[in-house]
Structure 1
Amino acid sequence: MKQVSKIMLTAVSLLSASSMLLGTPTNVKAASNVSTTSSLNSDNLYFLYNGQKLANNAILPMEKGIAVNNGDSLEKVLNTAKSLVSLSVSGVQITTNVSELRGQVQSQNVLLDNSNNIAQIPTTGFYVTLTARNNGQVVNVRVPFGNAYTVTQNAPEVQVTFNQNNVNQRLNVNNLIFQIASGSKFDPLNFWGSNKEQYKLTATNKGTLTVDSNTVDPSQPGSWGQVKVTATNSQGQKSTSSFEVYVVPQGMQRLGVDIWTDSYRISDGRVWKSEQLNRGDAIYVGNDTQIINKVSYTRISTKSQVDANSLSNNTWIKTSDLVHESVDAITKRVMHKALIYDSIGGSKLRKISAFKLVTFEKKIYVIKNAKYYKVINAPDYIKAANVDGTKRTLKKNAYIYATSNRRANKNVLRKGTKITTYGSSYMFKNGKRYYRIEGATKTQKRYVRVTNFK
């Protein structure tokens, strides 16, 4: 077996370690998880680095992980990590041992030999977690080795500032939804909402912002797009955030939620659930929006566009519920008494009578291999065969009947003709089954015997 080489520390790391042992602080940049304290409370347990208090589970604020080589022993790694920190309570010892450290580094893909020496270090480096305990209190700190950095601790954050109800707001922009007016100008880093409030994006930690992508098109009412923004600080540390922007539509819209959603009432910055809205409900979208607990709400109306923009109207919906395609609707006549089903094909034991005009979603749903129309303003589905019918081919000439013993007219339908039939067949008084066919109305009955079709 190769002679195990001693662990080598970088000049910066050695200086940090020796300075800690001598009580002289080094010039190490503090991270966001470090707070400076001039009077340390000896009754509270926490780790210290260069006289600075560390938050529990913090990563040691070093510019770069401590240098480590293949062949270094875990005991040396552990002792080096311990030498860099101290504890706020005298007499308390760090409890992490070599056996615990072995499991830690192996979980980070560090390869070890049977003598607890490092055989291979991953290119990403690794962290050593030190633990201390006192009177039931447990604290931890993570020490970076190799190419392990504290980048995520110092990365700048993308924030948005705006004024709402005469109060200045500052929020992390990630996953927020905003709303702009149709035809307005849109700068992803500085824009005006449809509520006439200005939204400005900034980066924390003196970072700079770059727009990675922007799919917002203000010229398209009712559309939405996504913006991705990256914040970068002087050390090259980055964080990327994304948010969505909804362009106010024009006129009546059909709500495009999956099945249903809630509307809300807002008062003094608090939100209460109000009435339930169904997919396909007719709504008008107002210009006013509010962001409460990082959720964006838009004022809407089920009555008119004027009401949607009226301050006396207190009906709101989550803006995220508007970020769906408006439902296309179509009005059709039900040609056969239709049983109503739910979204998974279960019968609701209710029916829609024949020849009734019903407004459906234009989209066809397939449930258990059968085609359905969904009723607008209701979570109800009926089989499309009761509306659009089914094309069937005559295998012989056929008469059209009004009843079991009376023809509708003198016309003869010729063999090979394709005829639209609706729904299932009917049993007439003569014991024979008939399909209702195209051209039938509530007052004009038209049936053809089932046996006449292929």
Structure 2
Amino acid sequence: MKKNLRIVSAAAAALLAVAPVAAGTVSTVSADSGLSARAANPSLYTLSAGITVNNAESINGGEPVDRLSFSVHLNGANTSVSTAGVTAPQDFEVYEANSNAVTITDGVAAVNSTAVPVKTLRANTDYIVVNRSVKFTGLTKGQLYNAVVNGGTTQVKATDDGTTAGLILTQAFRTSARAMMGAPYVYTRSDNRRAAAGSVGLVKGFYNVDAVVNAINAKYRVGVDTTGIADAANGTIRGEFTQLTQDVRDGLSKAVAINSDGTFAKPSAPITFPVNIKAGSNTDVFNVTVYPDAIDADFSFPRIRFAGDAAGVVHAGSGDVVNVDGEGFNYVALNGTVNVPLIMNRFSATMSETNGTAIPVKVDTSKVNTKVAGVYPVTVSATNAEGKTSSVVFYLTVGDAGATYTTVQADIDEVPVYNISGNVVTDTKTTVKNGTPVVTFGTVTVNGKSYTRINSADSTKFVETKYVDGSIKPVAATPKKIMHNSYIYDKDHKRVGTNTLAAYSTVNVYGTTTKLADGSLVYKIGDNQYVMADNIDGTARVLSHNAYVYKTSKKRADRRVLKKGATVVTYGSPYTFKNGKAYYRIGGPKKQYVKVANFK
């Protein structure tokens, strides 16, 4: 199944995203078109279509437009619209992207009545291809559908013959800047065609950074122009995504809050961001658009069935929540054991929609804490021979089935559980995850601090009251890289434990920088646990002399000479080398140091 190609350049993206419908345009919207610019209606089935530009990378300037090859394709449709298709005449027009010839509002495209299509193409230039008569087919007469087209969502109505009125479909693309030997490019795995930009959808409400990364990796690969070029130092050059997980996290975080475990709330609109690619020393970026809902109908995922569901209910993809009320495994006694064999007995799976071969299910109970009465998610999954995984979630209760639950709300991921005997408070080393519903039974105050009893009325287990009385506003975790080996301190600047956070490792911080009792600037990383901000953000210092960058006391890290007056970010306290001289760490992860004496 062909996939839609999205905006290829920043200029084209800006044009299609924000340009208003200009006066003197010819729009697809009319009284009888059945098309309206509205937000997606969750009660309607969704259709998606796009245009593929097959060979823009072969254009080097001076070629006629008919040298290009275009095709209109169905990106996907709701599985309940299995007969859906798309059709269009082979009448494509190409306009320069910066000419205001084409404008888009909420997915509805319009072409300026005075716009003139180009006839000859230039190299390294942004264009927009247009087809004015695209129709969805195989629909139900008179029914409304969400149509994901032109980077937005509109609503279309099926006519008496099960099609839609003609609508304008567009696609931005850029011609080649002349192929650079060894340059990276992205292509789709399904048909090995180059992709000017990418698009993936989120499956059934499962919103997670890893899910987006997996979707991109499943759909796209990075190739190299003039493949098989020999590199004396590194062998054959291969194309790759250089830091895909970080790029996805950074891109999504501009539109949604990312939790410490990589999850996020369902986006209200598509999110477009660049990801980095490389081949040898050549680098580039590839724009990816993430849609809040699935954009492809995929029948190749495993099918999971729960014996307690109504007949015919099948789960595919990720994100479905199963109601297990009344099942023998949905309640576990405090300090008891989850009945995994019974769970596996009640769930089953088959290879795919078209392959009924049975495959085993896996049960993940890692988030269940049987030491604390609460409500916890359990995931049941199945992976087929193609490596595709479907999963469902159900919620299991630990403790009294009739208890009243209070949700833990914290500015950290894990809340400590304490044992209190008289006026002695002891850390049990057990924690409760932020957001977990727990059973509470009144409060006690020890040494001026309030604690709330959990598990049972006579339990000796407590959490700090501030985490269950609603007084703390949850704060999303932000992953940051540690640039200098770091101790962990409490609020009084006393070291916590003996562990050291290693340089170049990643740690979750909560909120912005704060100060300890002695004024030290820190980041919060846990309950009364902090790390020095200078070990993460560094300090900007000005060089008073030209400076070399070293990796040891005798060897330089590279050929750079940092100039007098330049500002350099250093991390943490200085290191003293074997030669007795002090050095600041800069950058990484390769060893890079500059003499302290070279700074003002």
Larger radius of gyration: 1
Instruction: Please indicate, yes or no, whether the TM-score normalized by the shorter chain is above 0.5.
Output: no
TM class, shorter-length: 0.3 to 0.5
